Amino acid sequence: MKNYAMILKTKNQPQETPERPDIDYPCIWVYKVIGEDSALLREIITTACAPLDVTVSLSHSSSKGKYHSLNAELLVPDEDFRLKIYESLRNNPAVKIVL
């Protein structure tokens, strides 16, 4: 018989907050951007990353071709700029997911 009190105690314990990674800037960063219109996603990525140069490549398309994931690779100068790009991509309605 399982010890349910032990299981409940374990599940209710607060999770430890993971440590933030130590990132040395400037560094190469890759965003994976997923949406339905790959041409529009390319424009959105280029705009979000401006004025920096970004290399955009197709990562994958769904089996029926409805969704596309693109990799956006660039040299980010600092954390603020990296997060600014992420927020710009995330807040665009044409973007379904940003990783």
12-38 burial code (b ≥16 CB/10 A, e <16): eeeeeeeeeeeeeeeeebebebbbeeb
The predicted model scores a pTM of: 0.79
Terminus-to-terminus CA distance in the chain, angstroms? Answer: 42
- 23-98: what fold? Alpha-Beta Plaits (3.30.70)
Domain residue spans of the chain: 23-98
Provide the angle, in degrees to the nearest 10, between the axes of the packed helices 79-90 and 38-49. Answer: 150
Tell me the per-residue pLDDT of 52-61, one tens digit each, with 9 for 90 and over. Answer: 999 999 999 9
Please report, as a single letter, which amino acid is at residue 5.
Answer: A
**Over the stretch 34-58, which tens digit does the pLDDT of each residue have?**
999 999 999 999 999 999 999 999 9
